[in-house]
Chain A
């Protein structure tokens, strides 16, 4: 164990962890939204994210950008960011809806048992990831340097880069917007109603199918944003990128209390930071082992996660 490694790098590890955690949190929202309404773990959500990482690369490719391009000036950079985000959001959102319509809705119509949904979810996930694997010959794809990481400010000996700042602020803003939507809008109230009591929601005139499609879409949009941030931060993507980060995101959702939006944010940030501490302490090869030890320990003491289950009870 390398205590001095952790102590000396405490600041940088925290900031890196927060940025990583912000991506995980955005990713985790998709699991938690769908679970809150359907009590279903949508394992295909990891591939919704994966397609986002490729969609934004594809959009940048249309501008002739690849990993060997020079870093663009501020004007084009903003344009590329907007285009990349739109591409990822559209593709991830569409992918999430497609999964719902193709894989889950037909099962619901037939009143399939929960296990059937689980198997379908894993099947859909593997299918998309394997298609991506075959198309890319299982090679990783480099990301053009849209944003050059530059320090923007320093606290003590910790420098924070523009990229880290962008990721953390964007995640917080999206969380805030989503929270306002779910708790403040009419459609959001419909989502909470279905999550809390599906039969009563129908008796209020809430169209359950529409609410379900909506939570898949919202989860997809957030995953799309997470995918762009991931591309920029990591610099490469690969056919199994969704699977690997998906495990973290799912862990974060359970950690915070699956079904609970604010829990996903808390779980994501906490997991990101603690993974980086563990990496500093034991070496980065222990990063995932550490996060699962943490998950098990927390669930032993709080089986419903830190903030508790259920979408609608987040306020209580």
Chain B
């Protein structure tokens, strides 16, 4: 397993956000994490990327225990996150934002190669190359956040709500790109409110409710699960 989370609990002050979560992501998979607002999806992502310290439990990545490892060192190990709210650097140009994604890397020719790859995946970013990140539209910022997360050549790409705030056509497009990224060899763990898209594109998925995993299965199984349908897919 590339990522193994074992019985992780996490609290914000006195508020318990995660009550013992266990999940795994295998190499080459696309795994989705779905659930309502406040279920702990983004908190799980932050625990994996190291932005929030966990209270208990262990997180193993690529065979190594990274539970206590600083966030910036996890990037070097191969974990990369496109955060909730996108986290664009507003005063940097699109190009500078993308280059920030390659901050831990040294080989200039490889970085340039990946810049071109990002511009190929998101031609819109090429058009906006010299524009400040803060002036982009929501959808463009989302592309930038995903493109930037790829610039570290991660083994595991964490995507927090990649479809948030996007027009329906763009949602299709961003999921197409996620599948494409996966086919190029990157493992993906994604958090989504858009359960329909997430489940139909993911190999496997977990359903999160108030800090606990209540269901897991293949994307197709969960798509056809009556309880999931009822709660997350908006069809009675």
Contact = CB atoms under 8 A, between A and B. Distances in A.
B91 A315 contact: yes
A234 interface: no
A314 B72 contact: no
Nearest to B87: A200
A67 interface: no
A311 B92 CA distance: 11
B44 interface: no
B91 A203 contact: no
A193 B83 contact: no
A152 to B, nearest CB: 40
A310 B75 CA distance: 26
Could you tell me the dominant secondary structure of chain B's interface residues?
A: mixed
B80 A314 contact: no
A192 B72 contact: no
B91 A192 contact: yes
B90 A186 contact: no
A190 B80 CA distance: 17
B179 interface: no
Contact of B88 (A200, A202, A315): A200
A201 B91 CA distance: 13
B76 interface: yes
Contact of A203 (B81, B90, B99): B81
Interface in B72-112: 72-73, 75-76, 80-81, 83, 87-92, 96, 99-101, 103-104
A203 B89 contact: no
Contacts of B152: 204-205
Contact of A186 (B49, B50, B103, B149): B103
A51 B134 CA distance: 40
Given A186-B103, A189-B99, A202 B89 contact: no
A196 B75 contact: no
Interface in A180-211: 186, 189-190, 192-193, 196-197, 199-208
Given A186-B103, A190-B103, A316-B134, A203 B92 contact: no
Contact of B91 (A186, A206, A208, A310): A310
Given A196-B91, A206-B103, A316 B132 contact: yes
A312 interface: yes
A202 B72 contact: yes
A140 B96 CA distance: 49
A189 B100 contact: yes
B202 to A, nearest CB: 22
Nearest to B148: A204
A314 B90 CA distance: 11
A313 interface: yes
Interface in A301-316: 310-316
A313 B96 contact: no
Contacts of A313: 90-91
B92 A205 contact: no
Interface in A119-156: none
Enumerate the 10 nearest inter-chain pairs by beta-carbon distance, A residue then B residue, closest first: A312-B91, A205-B75, A200-B87, A205-B104, A313-B91, A202-B71, A196-B89, A204-B103, A205-B72, A204-B100
